[in-house]
C-alpha cells in the first residue's frame, strides 16, 4: 500500500477588520457651486489688483522725461493724486477678494489633515495682499522722481492700506472638514438629524425654532433652517453653548454628559 504524501499544515493568520470610519462631511452640490463662483470672482479681483500694481509701477512711478523750450531734458514728476488713488483701488480690490474667498472657505473648507493645503487655502488673501503691495511700497521709497516728503506720504498710505488688506486677508479661525464633521455628528446625536436653525443676527446656530434666542425681536424676523454646513456657509461660527436650555425648549432628551459636551465645544473654540 502506497504511503500517503506528507502534507504541510499552513496556518493562515486572520486579519482583524478595522471598524468602519465615521462618515466625513462633504459640501452639497449647491454649496460647492457657490464656493466655486465666489473663488472665481475673488481670483479675478486679485488679478486686477496685481495688474493695477504693475501698471502703477510701470507708468505712475516712472513718469516720462520732458524737453523744455530750451531743449533741456526735464525729469518727469510722479502724479501723487493718481498714485494714492491707485493704492486705494488696489487695496479695495484685494479686500473684497479676500472677503469673498473666506466666504467660499466657509461653504467648502479644506482638511486640517492636509496642513500645507489647509494653510494656503485659508491664508491666500494674506499672501495676495503681500504680493499686491510689497513691491509697490519698496519702489515708492526707492523712487528717484519723488522727494522725501512725497515718499513719506505715499509710502505711509501704502503701508496702512496694505496692513488693512492683510488683516482682511488673514483667517484667524479657519473652518475645516474635520470641524464640520464633528459638529454634524454632534447635532445628529442630540437631535437625530443634521438640521439646525439660525437668524441673521447672532454668531451661532441653534437646535430648533422654539428656543428663545431664535425668537428675539429684530429688524429681520426670518428664521433660516438647514444643515450644519449651511449654517457655516451663512457665517455662523458653530453651535450655541446653551445646550441644556435648548434641548429642553426643543423637547429633546438631555444626555447625562451634556456638561462634558458643552466643555468640549468650549475647548474647541479656544
Quickly state the pLDDT bin for 20 (edges 50, 70, 90): very low
Indicate the range of 36-45, 89-98, 130-139, 222-231 predicted with least confidence.
222-231
**Average pLDDT for residues 143-164, to the nearest whole number?**
96
Q: Over 80: is that where the pLDDT of 174 sits?
A: yes
DSSP structure string for 35-66:
HHHHHHHHHHHHHHHHHHHHHIIIIISSPPPE
Bigger pLDDT: 121 or 221? 121
**Average pLDDT for residues 34-50, to the nearest whole number?**
98
Q: Cβ(225)–Cβ(196) under 8 Å?
A: yes
Q: Over 60: is that where the pLDDT of 164 sits?
A: yes
DSSP structure string for 178-196:
HHHHHHHHHHHHHHSSS-E
Q: Over 80: is that where the pLDDT of 26 sits?
A: yes
Phi and psi (nearest 5°) for 226?
180, -165
Q: Over 70: is that where the pLDDT of 196 sits?
A: yes
Alpha-carbon torsion (240, 242, 248, 253), positive or negative: positive
**Average pLDDT for residues 32-43, to the nearest whole number?**
97
**Average pLDDT for residues 170-190, to the nearest whole number?**
94
Q: Over 60: is that where the pLDDT of 7 sits?
A: no
- Location of C-alpha cell 496702512: 160
* Average pLDDT, rounded, for the chain: 89
Q: Over 70: is that where the pLDDT of 1 sits?
A: no
pLDDT digits over 123-149, tens only? 999 999 999 999 999 999 999 999 999
Quickly state the pLDDT bin for 4 (edges 50, 70, 90): low
Residue 64: per-residue pLDDT: 77
Max Cα-Cα span within the chain: 129
Domain ranges of the chain: 29-65+75-169, 177-269
Residue 72: per-residue pLDDT: 60
Rounded alpha-carbon distances, angstroms, from residue 268 to 118, 122, 202, 264: 18, 18, 19, 6
**Average pLDDT for residues 63-77, to the nearest whole number?**
66
Q: Over 80: is that where the pLDDT of 228 sits?
A: yes
**Average pLDDT for residues 238-264, to the nearest whole number?**
93
Amino acid at each position: 500500500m502506497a504511503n500517503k504524501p506528507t502534507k504541510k499544515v499552513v496556518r493562515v493568520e486572520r486579519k482583524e477588520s478595522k471598524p468602519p470610519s465615521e462618515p466625513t462631511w462633504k459640501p452639497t452640490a449647491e454649496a460647492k457651486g457657490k464656493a466655486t463662483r465666489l473663488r472665481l470672482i475673488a481670483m479675478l479681483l486679485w488679478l486686477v489688483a496685481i495688474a493695477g500694481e504693475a501698471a502703477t509701477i510701470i507708468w505712475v512711478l516712472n513718469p516720462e522725461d520732458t524737453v523744455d523750450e530750451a531743449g533741456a531734458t526735464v525729469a518727469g514728476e510722479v502724479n501723487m493724486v493718481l498714485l494714492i488713488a491707485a493704492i486705494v483701488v488696489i487695496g479695495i480690490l484685494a479686500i473684497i477678494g479676500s472677503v469673498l474667498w473666506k466666504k467660499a472657505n466657509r461653504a467648502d473648507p479644506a482638511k486640517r489633515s492636509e496642513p500645507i493645503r489647509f494653510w494656503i487655502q485659508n491664508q491666500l488673501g494674506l499672501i495676495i495682499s503681500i504680493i499686491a503691495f510689497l513691491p509697490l511700497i519698496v519702489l515708492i521709497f526707492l523712487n528717484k522722481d519723488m522727494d522725501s516728503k512725497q515718499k513719506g506720504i505715499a509710502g505711509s498710505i501704502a503701508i496702512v492700506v496694505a496692513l488693512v488688506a492683510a488683516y482682511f486677508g488673514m483667517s484667524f479661525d479657519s473652518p475645516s472638514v474635520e470641524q464640520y464633521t464633528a459638529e454634524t455628528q454632534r447635532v445628529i446625536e442630540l437631535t437625530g438629524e443634521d438640521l439646525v436653525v439660525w437668524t441673521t443676527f447672532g454668531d451661532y446656530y441653534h437646535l430648533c425654532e422654539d428656543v428663545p434666542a431664535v425668537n428675539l425681536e429684530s429688524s429681520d424676523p426670518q428664521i433660516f433652517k438647514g444643515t450644519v454646513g449651511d449654517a457655516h456657509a451663512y457665517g455662523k461660527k458653530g453651535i450655541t453653548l446653551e445646550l441644556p436650555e435648548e434641548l429642553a425648549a426643543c423637547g429633546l432628551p438631555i444626555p447625562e454628559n451634556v456638561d462634558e459636551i458643552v466643555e468640549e465645544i468650549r475647548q474647541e473654540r479656544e
